Amino acid sequence: MPRPTQCEPMWLRDNCACAECRDPRNGQKLFQITDLPQDLAVAAETAAEVDGAPGWEVVWSPDGHRSRYADAWLGEPEGGSGGPGWATGVPRTARSSGSRPI
């Protein structure tokens, strides 16, 4: 069974569907991925019901935000927005920038 901790945290948080992160009327994202904390991580994952289906509630570190993800959604490696979100085999090029000014 897929678990939130097996996913790339930035991707998972980017796909949070709560009213704080997405406008419920048009589904528009209300933040930029660059607004997320650099050290974003899953602080806790708890089995929870999501829209009547089995899923997970995730508590984020360091900001304490809560997200819910349905099992069925996590089970699709492509996710809801075309992924890839799975940590295994995902190139992490976006995270490291080699050209940092001194």
List interacting residues with Zn ion (CB under 5 A): 16, 18, 20-21
Q: What is the smallest separation between the CB atom of 18 and Zn ion, expressed in angstroms?
A: 3
> Letter for the amino acid at 56?
W
Nearer to Zn ion, 17 or 87 (CB): 17
Nearer to Zn ion, 17 or 90 (CB): 17
User: How many angstroms separate the CA atoms of 22 and 26, rounded?
Assistant: 8
Nearer to Zn ion, 24 or 82 (CB): 24
In order of 25, 58, 59, the CA distances from 34 in angstroms are 23, 20, 19
